[in-house]
Amino acid sequence: MKLKIARVPFLLLRPVRRLSWYLLLWTQRHTLALWWHSLRAELQRERPVNGARVRRLAMTLFKVSADPRLANAAELKQLTLTDDVVTAETDEHWAKRPLLITVLTGVDHVNEVRFV
């Protein structure tokens, strides 16, 4: 009997925890989509996967996600690496493009930011 009583708080909190996770994922959906599209494009390239490239891409994504002014921006669709150039797929008239350039030039081995 004690075992059943001890489980009651967990059974009551479980739906709340699940709802909390869903709300967190929903509020961060644009950031998650940016990571998903960027990493998927990198891993589906025709060349073999290069760990240093994936690490550099993850660092650029983390840098963008860590900046509260750029995090969860719906206008930023995908980041792609080509040598030391980051290509950002954004909306054409996005006002935060200069801010993105400023943030990404602080990443190691990124010398240029281009927009598509």
pLDDT tens digit string along 38-97? 999 998 988 888 888 899 999 999 999 999 999 889 999 999 998 889 999 999 899 999
Q: What is the pTM of this model?
A: 0.79
For 25-30, what is the mean pLDDT? 91
**What confidence tier does 13 reach under pLDDT thresholds 50, 70, 90?**
low
Phi, then psi, of 114 in degrees rounded to 5: -115, 160
Residue where the block lists tokens 């490239």:
53
pLDDT, mean of residues 1-24: 70
The pLDDT of residue 10 is: 66
CA atoms within 13 A on the CB side of 8: 5
Is residue 80 within 8 Å of residue 87, measured between CB atoms? yes
Enter the DSSP assignment of 73.
Answer: -
Provide the pLDDT for residue 26: 92
Give the pLDDT of residue 32: 94
In contact, 35 and 61? CB cutoff 8 Å: yes
Q: What is the pLDDT of residue 48?
A: 86
